[in-house]
């Protein structure tokens, strides 16, 4: 089976996309863990959410 240069290029693009998506997913997961394990940050983001929601609901 012989792969053309175009199909190899497409395969490289797909693999690069999946690795970047995986990297972004891993970073978001660790940020989520960091925030959830830090009560101050958890409280800060809760307040930010509540204040944003109340300001948005009064407009």
Write down the pLDDT at residue 23. Answer: 72
- Asked if 41 contacts 34 with a C-beta cutoff of 8 angstroms, the reply is yes
Query: Global pTM?
Result: 0.40
Ranges of the chain with pLDDT below 70? 1-6, 8, 55-59
Write down the pLDDT at residue 43. Answer: 86
Write down the pLDDT at residue 5. Answer: 64
Quote the domain boundaries for residue 23: 5-58
Which residues lie below 8 Å from residue 9, measured CB to CB, with a gap of 6+? Answer: none
Write down the pLDDT at residue 24. Answer: 73
* Closest of 18, 17, 45, 51 to residue 32, by C-alpha: 45
Write down the pLDDT at residue 56. Answer: 67
* Residue whose pair of structure tokens reads 């930010």 in the numeric block: 48
Number of domains comprising the chain = 1
């Amino acid at each position: 089976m012989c792969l053309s240069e175009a199909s190899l290029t497409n395969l490289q693009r797909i693999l690069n996309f999946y690795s970047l998506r995986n990297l972004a997913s891993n970073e978001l997961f660790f940020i989520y863990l960091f925030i959830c394990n830090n009560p101050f940050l958890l409280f800060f983001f809760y307040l930010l959410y509540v204040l944003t929601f109340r300001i948005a609901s009064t407009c």
